[in-house]
Amino acid sequence: MIEVDQATIEAFASLFRGRTDSHGAVELCVYEPVTLGHYGKHLRGETNLGVYFVLDDSTCHFAAVDLDEHDFNKAKAIRDELIKNEIPAYIAASKSKGFHIYCFAAERFKAVEIRRVLQAVLSKLNIKVEVFPKQDYHQADDPDGKKHPGSYINLPSFGYTRHFLSGDVKEVPLETALERIKRVPQRVIDRALQALPRESPREEPAPARGTKTKGKLPCFEKMMAGVPVGCRDEVAFRLAVHLSRQGMPPQLAEAVLLKWDIKYNQPAIGEPIIRQKIKQAYTKKYGLGCLNDLIQPFCDRDCPVYRKRHTEIDRRGITSGKEIEIMELSRMGTHPASFELTIDGSTLELSPTDLLSLKRVKAVAIESLSYVPFQGMKTSEWEILINTLLADVKQEPAPEDASAQAYYVECIYDWIETTPGAERQEDVEAGRPVKREDGYFFRMKDVSSYLSKHHRISIAPGELFRVVKTAGGGTKTIRVGKLFKLWSLPLKKEEETEPPVDMEV
């Protein structure tokens, strides 16, 4: 039996991530969770593993071209053309004696985008082969429970077979390949798409008869008909939330809002901001904003959400006969501790400090519930309630990379990457980061404002300074019109522009 260490299994599984609810095995779809054990058996040559690409949000972690013929020169031509487009690509022998050419996303590819880029490369080379994923969008399950995971691909490195190959057709040890493989940042895909002729995004197939979809609310229809200046930013975000709740794929939601933006907003909000709104809305952490002053003018008394929020009473009595929302509390195994409070099916993510503050819990709840919970409750009653819930708290394992430090840093990078870079003095003063080849630069108060507004993170300045320093940041004086003393963070590793390394032994 082949010996494979755990680190190699984990690195391989991280590279070839796909759907975790099903996998392929000998022409069959197996509906069971995919674990590291499956990857280990595959690498040891015990049981073949096929991975389904397209996730529920119509994205994928890697893509492949399947050349079903023993022509290495053709495989190398495809790889070289991808590299010319700054897309690192790697060749491996396939199960059918042909070749697979793989590329891997720094974060995730949009399936429809990476398919279009790969097909354009193949068209240029006049090569007709299969592209994986084969689907542009994830197809929802049928009402009768039938699942549609898409198409899977048999992974490389099965035991002593399907090796990665260098440009001169030498077999590359798996450990060496895993060290040398580079991932593709989204900006490279964006640039490749911009060079292609524009085409309208293809819509997802209509749902099967009997499939239940959430209807459009009156406020959605009113906002889609155009809004006045002064509320466009907030309305764009709430429209994105509506589309998310309707089950629309994020790519289609983006197309819908871009069309709305161009038609009704002068000047338009712009694609970067629309994409940011879509990304935030599809985290599923936000409500419809019924209580927001900018959204209330679009409310309708006949709206089912309006009727629910203004006529329903709370349903569970715990203290002094006071009725409050049905809820449960979970403690996540993170450091420091974090909690998830579930109210009426919505989950609020809270720190220990947030949990003890009724005022903070209400503020967080408004975004998810679109109404103010616990009306009339006193602080003393809230503390009694929390103690009651803590006595029966559910212990949950920490998600991968769930430390507060990592989460804060990821949020900061999210702000930097989704906000247009500052080019003038006025841009910096307006709260935009500076993006340069030697790093990102920003004012700490702008980071703090973003974390508070978009992630409901309240963090002391001293702690935020420590987080940035631990992530490799510091301070530097730079000139943008005038001299600014700004905080900095290094570029993400996956965004470095080193050329891909050929897999020579």
Give the helix/strand (H/E) hosting 377. Answer: none
Question: Is it the case that residue 352 has pLDDT exceeding 50?
Answer: yes
Instruction: Please tell me which residue, 458 or 198, carries the higher pLDDT value.
Output: 458
Question: Is it the case that residue 318 has pLDDT exceeding 70?
Answer: no
Q: Residue 156 — pLDDT band, cuts 50, 70, 90?
A: very high
Residue 223: per-residue pLDDT: 85
Cα distance between residue 242 and residue 248, in whole Å: 9
Question: Is it the case that residue 203 has pLDDT exceeding 50?
Answer: no
Which of helix, strand or coil describes residue 458? coil
Question: Is it the case that residue 228 has pLDDT exceeding 50?
Answer: yes
Nearest one of 505, 504, 500 to 182, comparing CA atoms: 500
Question: Is it the case that residue 496 has pLDDT exceeding 50?
Answer: no
> What sign results for the dihedral spanned by CA atoms 11, 12, 15, 18?
negative
Locate the DSSP E strands across 133-272.
Answer: 152-154, 164-165, 171-172
Nearest one of 10, 66, 3, 7 to 38, comparing CA atoms: 10
pLDDT digits (tens, 9 = 90+) for 73-115: 999 999 999 999 999 999 999 987 899 999 999 989 999 999 9
Q: Find residue 479's DSSP bridge partners.
A: 483
Residue 330: per-residue pLDDT: 80
Find which of 14-18, 220-224, 415-419 is predicted with most confidence, using mean pLDDT: 14-18
**CB distance 494 to 106 below 8 Å:** yes
CA distances (Å), 3 to each of 43, 44, 45, 95, in order?
9, 7, 10, 21
The amino acid at residue 118 is L
Q: Where are the chain's structural domains?
A: 6-194, 218-304, 313-396, 404-492
Secondary structure of 118-138 in HEC code, one letter for each residue: HHHHHHHHCCCCEEECCCCCC
Cα distance between residue 289 and residue 292, in whole Å: 5
> What sign results for the dihedral spanned by CA atoms 21, 25, 30, 35?
negative
As given in the structure block, the two tokens for residue 481 are 């019109």
Nearest one of 134, 156, 129, 132 to 69, comparing CA atoms: 129
CA distances (Å), 41 to each of 4, 52, 155, in order?
9, 17, 12
Cα distance between residue 281 and residue 283, in whole Å: 5
As given in the structure block, the two tokens for residue 129 are 């082969």
Q: Residue 305 — pLDDT band, cuts 50, 70, 90?
A: low
Cα distance between residue 369 and residue 382, in whole Å: 18
Q: Which CATH architecture has domain 6-194?
A: Alpha-Beta Complex (3.90)
Residue 65: per-residue pLDDT: 96
Question: Is it the case that residue 322 has pLDDT exceeding 50?
Answer: no
Q: At CB < 8 A and 24+ separation, what contacts does 188-197 make?
A: 188/85, 188/86, 188/87, 189/87, 189/109, 189/110, 189/113, 189/114, 189/117, 191/86, 192/85, 192/86, 192/87, 192/117, 192/120, 193/113, 193/116, 193/117, 196/116, 196/117, 196/120
> What sign results for the dihedral spanned by CA atoms 71, 42, 398, 59?
positive
Residue 304: per-residue pLDDT: 65
Nearest one of 309, 299, 395, 380 to 344, comparing CA atoms: 309
pLDDT digits (tens, 9 = 90+) for 461-490: 777 887 888 788 888 889 998 899 999 999
pLDDT digits (tens, 9 = 90+) for 377-431: 888 778 777 777 776 676 665 554 445 677 788 889 888 888 888 989 999 999 9
Cα distance between residue 290 and residue 219, in whole Å: 9
Question: Is it the case that residue 214 has pLDDT exceeding 60?
Answer: no
Q: Residue 219 — pLDDT band, cuts 50, 70, 90?
A: confident
pLDDT > 90: percent of the chain: 33
Question: Is it the case that residue 287 has pLDDT exceeding 90?
Answer: no
Q: Parallel, antiparallel, or unpaired: how do β-strands 322-324 and 152-154 relate?
A: unpaired
Phi and psi at 185, nearest 5°, equal -75, 155
